[in-house]
């Protein structure tokens, strides 16, 4: 049982480049989330999708877009990467209770 799968695990981008982080879950959960983790800050919510077809902004949405492609998949797009977006990104899913996290994507913007 894979749970929550994120790709890629590591990525280096140049300032101004774009990329999409992929997330898929196989637990039939309705809700999915994107967080970023910076040193000493804990995890902060970027966007979430309470159910297929809906998305909402979290605490730090600027510079990001999301797509809930179907019930399984929730992608995070950086249209024009900036050094301030250097971080570790986590995807999660839940169904009215316990949330489960992917292994993270370590993104460096140079």
Which residue in the block uniquely carries the two structure tokens 């040193």? 39
Q: What 3-state DSSP class applies to 73?
A: strand
The nearer residue to another protein, 72 or 106, going by C-beta atoms, is 106
Tell me which residues touch another protein (CB under 8 A).
Answer: 30-31, 33, 35, 40-45, 48, 50-51, 58-59, 88, 90, 92, 94-101, 103-104, 106
Widest Cα–Cα separation across the chain:
39
The nearer residue to another protein, 14 or 53, going by C-beta atoms, is 53
Sheet strands (E) in 3-109: 4-7, 10-13, 19-25, 31-37, 43-49, 56-57, 64-68, 74-78, 87-94, 99-101, 105-109
The nearer residue to another protein, 17 or 43, going by C-beta atoms, is 43
Please report how close the Cβ of residue 84 comes to another protein at its closest, in angstroms.
Answer: 19
Please report how close the Cβ of residue 96 comes to another protein at its closest, in angstroms.
Answer: 4
């Amino acid at each position: 049982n894979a749970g929550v799968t994120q790709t890629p695990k590591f990525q280096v981008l140049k300032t101004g480049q774009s990329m999409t982080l992929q997330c898929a879950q196989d637990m039939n959960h309705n809700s999915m989330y994107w967080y970023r983790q910076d040193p000493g800050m804990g995890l902060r919510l970027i966007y979430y999708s309470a159910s297929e077809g809906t998305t909402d902004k979290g605490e730090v949405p600027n510079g990001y877009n999301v797509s809930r492609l179907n019930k399984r998949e929730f992608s995070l797009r950086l249209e024009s990467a900036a050094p301030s977006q250097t971080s570790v990104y986590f995807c999660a899913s839940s169904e009215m209770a316990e949330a489960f996290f992917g292994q993270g994507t370590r993104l460096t913007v140079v």
